[in-house]
């Protein structure tokens, strides 16, 4: 049961290990890692038709919503 001296490498390793456990993950870094290392664009292309249809539906609903306002402005 002797005295054991700590080396600088042991302290640095412990410091880096505690940072990973104690700190919160940075959401910006997680998002960047997701964009760079995943094939999200291929998944997006699978749903391209549904995205196009939903965008056209949103545009059509906005036209129906703003049509009375536009008609009232042009009557004056």
Look at residue 14 in the predicted model and tell me its pLDDT. 64
- Does residue 70 carry a pLDDT above 60? yes
- Does residue 8 carry a pLDDT above 70? no
Look at residue 74 in the predicted model and tell me its pLDDT. 83
Q: Are 19 and 12 in contact (CB under 8 A)?
A: no
- Does residue 2 carry a pLDDT above 90? no
In tens, the pLDDT along 16-69 reads 655 555 567 789 999 999 889 999 889 889 999 999 999 999 999 999 999 999
Report residue 11's pLDDT band, with 50, 70 and 90 as the boundaries.
low
Q: Is 8 left (phi over 0), alpha (psi -120 to 50) or beta?
A: alpha
């Amino acid at each position: 049961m002797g005295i054991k001296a700590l080396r600088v490498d042991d302290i640095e390793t412990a410091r880096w290990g505690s940072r990973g456990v104690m700190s919160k993950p940075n959401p910006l870094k997680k998002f960047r890692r997701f964009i760079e290392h995943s094939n999200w664009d291929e998944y997006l292309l699978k749903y391209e038709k549904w995205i196009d249809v939903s965008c056209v539906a949103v545009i059509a609903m906005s036209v129906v919503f703003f049509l009375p306002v536009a008609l009232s402005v042009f009557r004056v």
